[in-house]
Amino acid sequence: MSTPVSNKPTLLCVDDNPSVLKMYRVILAGFGYSVAVADSRIAAVRQVHSERPDLIILDHEMFGTANGELASRFRQVTVDVPLILVSACTSVVEDGSHFLDAALNKNSPIQVLIDQVEALLHTGTTGRRSTGLVEYPA
């Protein structure tokens, strides 16, 4: 008996807030994505290896610690996987756009995230970094 193969892109959402993870799961699944979630750095690393996501959405700060090191680690092992950093801090969003595929303000409307996910998945920009900050009203 064979297992059906899903053509849905898999997104890995990493955040320490269960409500945010639930929101990501519900909304992104509603847009046709397969959604894996991780609520810790350890779980995120495991999910990267087990799920082989097509795109990663990473909260900048988890449990009071910045995730810059985790983002760098993901970039090393998932060179061709787009990485979106989400933060409530404007300076982090500005800085993140220099070494990640995208950096978004956590207070942006969900459609901004959806647009960025779709752009990164469908335009073949995997592995390339944004050349600047994508500005959206909060």
Q: Which domain holds residue 117?
A: 10-122
> pTM of this prediction?
0.77
Q: Is residue 127 part of a domain?
A: no
Q: Is residue 108 part of a domain?
A: yes
Longest dimension (CA), the chain: 52
**pLDDT recorded at residue 33:** 95
Contacts with 22 (C-beta within 8 Å, 6 or more apart), sequence order: none
Mean pLDDT of 41-64: 84
β-bridge partners, 104: 86
CATH of the domain at 105: 3.40.50.2300
Q: Is residue 4 part of a domain?
A: no
Q: Is residue 15 part of a domain?
A: yes
Alpha-carbon Rg of the chain, whole angstroms? 14
Q: Is residue 56 part of a domain?
A: yes
Mean pLDDT of 41-69: 80
Q: Is residue 88 part of a domain?
A: yes
pLDDT(11) > 90: yes
**pLDDT recorded at residue 69:** 66
CA distance 128 to 138: 25
pLDDT in tens, 68-117: 666 666 766 666 889 888 887 766 666 655 567 888 888 889 999 999 99
Under the banding of pLDDT at 50, 70 and 90, the label for residue 61 is confident
Number of structural domains (the chain) is: 1
Q: Is residue 2 part of a domain?
A: no
Under the banding of pLDDT at 50, 70 and 90, the label for residue 134 is very low
Q: Is residue 1 part of a domain?
A: no
